Structure 1
Amino acid sequence: MFGLSTRDALPMDAGPTPADAGPPAIEISPLPGTPATKTTSPVVLAGVVRLAEAALIVTTGLIGLLPNLLVGESWLKMAVPPIVALVYVLLGEAAHLFSVPLFRQRGVQLLRVMAVVAMVCGLLIASFAMGSVLTVENIGWLERWLAILAVVLVLFRLSTHHLVKAWSSAGRLARRTAIVGGGEAGEKLIRELEARAVGDVTICGVFDDRSDIRSPDSVAGHAKLGTVEDLVTFARRTKLDLVIFTLPITAEGRILQMLKKLWVLPVDIRLSAHTNKLQFRPRSYSYLGSVPVLDVLDRPIADWDIVQKWLFDRIVGGLALLALSPIFLVTAIAIKLTSNGPVLFRQRRYGFNNELIEVFKFRSMYIDQCDATASKLVTKDDPRVTPVGRFIRKTSIDELPQLFNVVFKGNLSLVGPRPHAIHAKAVDRLYNDVVDGYFARHKVKPGITGWAQINGWRGETDTEEKIQQRVAHDLYYIENWSVFFDLKILAMTPLSLVSTENAY
């Protein structure tokens, strides 16, 4: 019953057509041209270590307490391990115990962990003494606990060290980086990064709009791969993480001109500060290893935000699939009984980082008139739409199969900018020709519903204003994203569907 349209479906491994392919591919060297290794956020890794060690402290503490509890001692002691775990984490933060550079240093991190454990032990004994509960039984429990804890933390840190070492060698913890600006400034920056940011960055190439002697073809052993215009294509193809400008702050005009081209990318953009004569306070900088940079633009969803959104999509999306399964069944039966052809079809659309994805929809058109690329948008009383299709389009039921994309394929989110079809137009002009910076909406995963849709900017785009307003709302969502914002949009979506003025 839930077949896919053979006429409208596109092969899952099909590449973009020439019309979709964008600008000609630039020449990419073997290293940066290789598909990006799956990366792990250093921030998330440090957070996981922090949580894991707190859990180990609580678990070993309760295990050490068990004999005392079995002979009838107060169960209030169960509160002690969580408090100790909290103190350990706080002291560990002060001692910089949770950082990837420290994870790479086996001896140093073990000494620092033992020092923090000793401090926690001292505070615990002092607290027991002040509370007049430093009994023989409590001393026995503390000895068992601390002995087990010391062994467990040492083994855990050794495992973490070997894991981080292996991931660093594989490039999983490095940020794929492009340098904008060659010449002497670019060479100095690259040498600084290679010497002081070991394992934190992988330099993929240099880009510079200059073609004269000030910008040679090779900078500190790294090839100049093209201009800033080429960098946009390069960043999308190689999943670049970071762009660093070596231009001085005084070159404001050139920086702004380049940023206008690069801000549509889901990457962090930094301005090199290691050679600037104008010095700011240390807290004004962020650091790559120990190399100072000034933050210009951040990717909108990164580190723990990615984890939060992933969990939100999978958990809420899975629950939505279960809750809406009766509607799925009724809709499928209605489509099958009223028109020939399969129930579902796939449509190619733009996704995260401007990549082409295929989304699932309920078929709402007659099988011989479907338009998989949306080269002609649906209009009021469109003869291609079936009677059932007209209803499910007005109520947005036709979009529900995109929950499969969210839960199983992971190329859509529940909330985000709507994924537009590749040939979608406003007044016979492609969307990216109508809106300057249109592709900036692809800095995050597209969604089934979004801020633009609940504000009435859905359906037919028969004027340029409609697509401009839709993109403006999408960009507002990207800049202000939070889990609570997603919850608000989901809560308002059913109410927004009551108005079907623009949906055909």
Structure 2
Amino acid sequence: MKTKYDTYNEWVSLFITSCETVLAGGLFYALFMLIKDTPWKQILNVPHYQVLLTVMLCYFIASMQVGVILYRRKVYAYQIMGKISKTILLFGILAGVVLEVGKFMDVWSYFYLAYLTSLFLCITIFRIFLRKMLKQYRSKGGNLRFVILVGSGENNLELYHELTDHSWAGYRVNGYFDHEPNPDFPPECPYLGKPTDVIKYLEKNANTHYLFCCLHSKDHEIIRPLIDYCENNLVHFYSVPNVRTYLHKRMYFNMMGSVPYLSLRKDPLSRTGNKLLKRTFDIVFSLTFLCTLFPIILLIVTIITKLTMPGPIFFKQKRNGQNDKEFYCYKFRSMKVNAQADSLQATKDDPRKTRWGNIMRKTSIDELPQFINVLLGDMSVVGPRPHMLKHTEEYSKLINKYMVRHFVKPGITGWSQVTGYRGETKELKDMEGRIRGDIWYIEHWSFGLDLFIIYKTVANAIHGEKNAY
């Protein structure tokens, strides 16, 4: 059932999309005026207003298709960036096809690339600014949503903190109902009475928006009238499952036909659209790099390597990939040929490394041949780093949930690597931290997050990393 709040969100999305459509058109016009009296004007084959209207229509379609999430009460910057990236990618392809097929303009020009880049920056600034203003408005008491809790189990107690820890989310929890008061609940969340008193409370407090119920199924005679009342009085009813007795982490609701079930984690990369987006980016990114910069780097590395140490230029090693499938991972050789290459991890003052090899490791140049692995489909540009077979065998027995990282393709770089868990794992807790980071990445994947990790990787390579050895 669609409520007035759903309609409100649709109007907000339409307003933001409309503003951005005008922004897309205005930016195109501004760039066109800059090239008006230059030879660049020749890229347009029809009057500029015709191209302008086409661009605006394509952006409106792309934005409405991807959607806007910045009005959601608990949403973070990287999620907003992910939506923006998808919108610009879809818009770039859609507008490019229409403009090229219609022979409106040359979309293979630097002008079109500059336009898309500028539009990405403008939309990012616009949405982040709107999000900041909305957070300030809610923090000051605007656009509030009032909540009551029915049941005081551990789930509802944790839910209370999720709702109230950030004032900018705009939630106000008026209190909780249960058969007995729960001393674990803070004074700010008062005890309002027994579950049988809920309907009387709702009748007197018509501004209640959400009701979260975690009563046991044995209380079904109380729960059913609550559901009926909420459905008939525009109160959102949510059932909070009691699974804390055997699961102490968040769960995710899914449907298999008409049967509901809970999963242990979100898995964005299980969706066909996300897998296609990530694989397309991997192919384009790796192919572009391998056809442009890589031949030059390969020539330089080959010359210096041959002058500084005997042996092959490349080093290949079997590692565990997606679904624990073994594959050969390629690197530039940074060590002397040795018998411990497949069993012993590199250390800071490892005698097997050469001076040139140390430079390659510090700047991550030794990892660049893995773009070949990306193109072959064994790896992705971003993902959990692939481990040696020996390490996978050992750590899978020592660290709980270690194998979860193998649900996705390994990456050249990853979330753990840009958040301090790169390099040698001296203690078990170091590897545990890396695994936590890998699982977090799998659960929170977005295209925007991948772009952020790539940016951090490049920045770290330029500045140098103390853990890169």
TM-score by length of 1: 0.43
TM-score, with normalisation over the residues of structure 2?
A: 0.45
Q: Which has the bigger relative contact order, CA under 8 A and spacing at least 6?
A: 1
Point out the structure with the larger helix share. Answer: 2
